[in-house]
Amino acid sequence: MSRAGELQPLRAQGDALTIDAFVERLALWDGAAHSGERPRVLAGMVGSADGRATVEGRAGGLSNPVDRALLRALRAPVDAMLVGAGTLIAEGYADLVDAPHRELRVARGLPATPLMATISRGLAPALARVPLFGEAGQRIVVFTESEDELPGCGADVVLERFAPGQLTARGCLQRLRASGGVRTVLSEGGPTLLHELVRERLLDELILTIASLLVAGDGRSVVHGPVFEPPVALRLDDVARAEDYLFLRYVPVA
């Protein structure tokens, strides 16, 4: 704890953690929901040191091997993921969970991969071309206001409809909890979806990687949308580093 006017140096405290041990400390395997109404919601994002969310339109240029491994490890214990349509399409999602984590999930009584939930009001046709939608056995739910259908996909895809103007992240989370029994959700954004999760006070924790890169330009920041007035305060609950990357765990202050 720092006293007024003091800066605490960021030194190694205790032994280095494996990535799985870092994730274990989040107690996601316990599967405790936020409430009866909605799941616990954790977001995993990476930003440059100047706050940008992409390099050449994708997050990959910001990431490093530890960040990539952490993001994949965060998927291992959750019941579901919630990822905006923009991100699924831009990043070309596929193959959510590595083989050892699949085995761990099954050993702990979970399906081999988390349910993938996405939001697309207009049911973007490009979703059908996301590789994940072609993976046999992958469960996907698409929340939409559209009456359209997606062309045949190899994955197990369910369309959940909302009336026009009624599709909200809160509504999606409530449905996931009520009809899907989902207790924990990992959101990997994107920035537009994360803005709504924060604005609607649906975000319980943010795992934010700060990449040791400066990007500049006018690309999206990690949270994209109208200014929060007042800004949303965060409590810093954990800090780790790997090489020049920082890994921060924040909890929004109610």
Q: Which helix (H) or strand (E) holds 199?
A: helix 191-199
Minimum distance from residue 176 beta carbon to ligand NAP (Å): 14
CB 239 within 8 A of CB 10: yes
Residue 90 class from Cβ within 10 Å (0-12 exposed, 13-18 middle, 19+ buried)? middle
Nearer to ligand NAP, 16 or 226 (CB): 226
Minimum distance from residue 50 beta carbon to ligand NAP (Å): 13
User: Which whole-number Å values give the CA distances from 92 to 11, 49, 58, 127, in the listed order?
Assistant: 37, 25, 10, 9
Minimum distance from residue 62 beta carbon to ligand NAP (Å): 6
Dig out the tokens for 190 from the structure: 């994107």
Nearer to ligand NAP, 69 or 110 (CB): 69
Nearer to ligand NAP, 104 or 241 (CB): 241
Nearer to ligand NAP, 37 or 103 (CB): 37
Length of the chain: 254
Please report, in angstroms and rounded to a whole number, the separation of the first and last CA atoms in the chain: 21
Interface with ligand NAP by CB under 6 A: which residues?
45-47, 53-54, 57-59, 62, 84-87, 90-91, 119-122, 124, 167-169, 188-193, 196, 220, 222, 224
Minimum distance from residue 57 beta carbon to ligand NAP (Å): 5
Minimum distance from residue 63 beta carbon to ligand NAP (Å): 8
Dig out the tokens for 28 from the structure: 């996601």
Nearer to ligand NAP, 184 or 187 (CB): 187
Pairing outcome for strands 184-187 and 40-48: parallel
Nearer to ligand NAP, 97 or 223 (CB): 223
Minimum distance from residue 16 beta carbon to ligand NAP (Å): 24
Left, alpha or beta for 58 (phi > 0: left; psi -120 to 50: alpha)?
beta
Provide φ and ψ at 40, rounded to 5°. -70, 135
The closest residue (CB) to ligand NAP is 84
Q: What is the DSSP string of 88-146?
A: HHHHT----S-HHHHHHHHHTTS-SSPEEEEE-TT--GGGGGSGGGG-TT-EEEEEES-
Nearer to ligand NAP, 53 or 96 (CB): 53
